[in-house]
Structure 1
Amino acid sequence: MKGILYKGSELTDLVSFARLPSYLQAFLREQNGIVAYFGGLHIRGCVSDLSWHSLAEAWQGEQAFWRTYAIVQETDIPFAQDCAGNQFLLRGDAVLWLDTETGELADLEVDFKHFLFGAEKFPVDALGMEPLRAFQQNGGVLRPGQLLSVYPPFCMATDGQQTPSFKAIGATERLAWLADFYRQIKDLPDGQSISLKPL
């Protein structure tokens, strides 16, 4: 992997580690999670500190994705996220992609090994890194523990009147905002007009 900003230290959450499939255990033994591609991909680690990096926090914590997004199962493992806070989940051996704005779930039709291979070979496409590149071209830098705040959200049509703006914010804050946004729009019909306050 390229553009490495952070590598996790020792495994300190052995309870979560024991529940993982062997191929993910093997990866985390080598590096207990990683932030790569200059923030384009964050693979969580089995740590008892650093809540932004903790797999257990995302999987079983108070803000676990299955608690907010009905389509996510409690057994789905939220092993990674992209630069804007969309999630990569393991369901069995399949890698799924959760759009955290809309709650839509897509099967990427790859396993963990091929997910990593695709990210390595085609990071911009595989990881949806266009917003991160735009942010970087304007001098922005994502640090470990940060995600991109995107305004207006990707799922909103603005009739070309507003170009998206990006800023780096804490991952916990970004994910909480996305969960709140999803709760507010999930039952609205397509094309519904809404107004938002920027983060």
Structure 2
Amino acid sequence: MIGILFTGAPIASATTLALLPAYLQNFLRKQNGVVAYFGGLHIRGCGGVPAWHSLEEAWHGPTAFWRTYDTVERSDIPFAQDCVGNQFLLRGDAVYFLDTETGELADLEVDFKHFLFGVEKFPVDALGMQPLRTFQQGGGVLPPGQLLSLYPPACIATDGKTKPSIKAVPSSERLAWLASFYQKIKGLPDGQSIQFKSGE
């Protein structure tokens, strides 16, 4: 992996580690999670600190993805995320992609090993790094523990008059906003018009 900005501290507790498949255990023993590709990929680690890096928090905490997203099962392991907060989940040995704006879940038809191969070979496409590239071209840097906030959201078709913006925000803030947005739109039909209030 290139562009490594953060590596998790050595595993202090084996409680969560023991619940993981052997291949993910082996990866985390060598490198307890990482922020790589200059923020394009965050693989979570075992341990509670920092909270934004904690697999336990994302999997079993009060804001765990299965508590919010109808498509996510309690047993799905949210092992990683991209630069805008979309999630990569392990369901059995298969890697799934969760669009955290819409809640849509897609089987990437690869296992963990081949997911990493694909990311290393085609990081921009595999990780949807176009927003990060745009942010970097404007002089931005995405620090560990932060995600990119997109406005308007990627799933919204606009009239072209709204000026798009990209900014770095704390991971917890971005994920909370995405969860709230998903809850508001999940029952709406495609093509439904929506309006954003100031500050949303």
TM-score, normalised with respect to structure 1: 0.98
Q: Which residue of 2 aligns with 1:59?
A: 59
The residue aligned with 2:101 is: 101
TM-aligned CA deviation for residue 164 of structure 1: 2.4
Query: What's 2:129 paired with?
Result: 129
The structural deviation recorded for 1:161 is 2.3
The alpha-carbon deviation at position 198 of structure 1 amounts to: 4.6
Q: Structure 2: give runs of 5+ residues left out of the alignment.
A: none
Mapped to 1, the partners of 2:20 and 2:48 lie a distance apart of 16
Cα distance, 1:134–1:97 mapped onto 2, change above 3 Å: same
Alignment partners' CA distance in 1, 2:199 and 2:165? 10
Partner in structure 2 of residue 78 of structure 1: 78
Contact 1:12 1:48 in 2 (8 A): no
Counterpart of 2:41 in structure 1: which amino acid? L
State the partner residue of 2:36.
Answer: 36
Match of 1:14 in 2: 14
Q: Aligned with 1:14: secondary structure? A: coil
Aligned residue for 2:89? 89
CA change 1:60–1:186 in 2 (3 A) is same
Deviations 1:114-164 (A, max 9, x none): 000000000000000000000000000000000000000000000322342
Cα–Cα, structure 1 residues 134 and 13, in superposed 2: closer, same or farther, change >3 Å? same
Moved over 2 A (4+): 159-164
Whole-Å separation in 1 of the counterparts to 2:199 and 2:97: 25
Q: CA deviation at 1:191?
A: 1.2
Over aligned residues, Cα RMSD in angstroms? 0.9
Report the secondary structure of 1:124's partner residue.
Answer: helix
**Residues 13 and 48 of structure 1 are in contact (CA less than 8 Å); yes or no, is this contact kept in structure 2?**
no
Matched letter for residue 36 of structure 2: A
Unaligned runs of 5+ in 1: none
Task: Give SS of 1:142's match.
Answer: coil
How many pairs were matched up? Answer: 199
Query: 2:58 & 2:126 partners in 1: Cα distance?
Result: 22
TM-score (norm 2): 0.97
Aligned partner of residue 88 in structure 2, secondary structure:
strand
2-side partners of 1:13 and 1:150: how far apart?
A: 35
Which has the higher mean CA deviation after the structures are superposed, 155-164 or 187-196?
155-164
The one-letter amino acid paired with 1:116 is L
| Amino acid in the other structure paired with 2:100 | T
Q: What is the SS of the residue equivalent to 1:15?
A: coil
5 Å-filtered alignment, 1:141-160, equals 141-160=141-160
Alignment of 1:108-123 (within 5 A): 108-123=108-123
Q: Is 1:140 aligned to residue 140 of structure 2?
A: yes
| Distance of 2:65 and 2:12 partners within structure 1 | 22
What is the Cα deviation at residue 67 of structure 1? Answer: 0.2
Paired residue secondary structure (1:109): coil
Q: 1:74 is matched by which residue type in structure 2?
A: R
Opposite residue 54 of structure 1, the aligned amino acid is: S
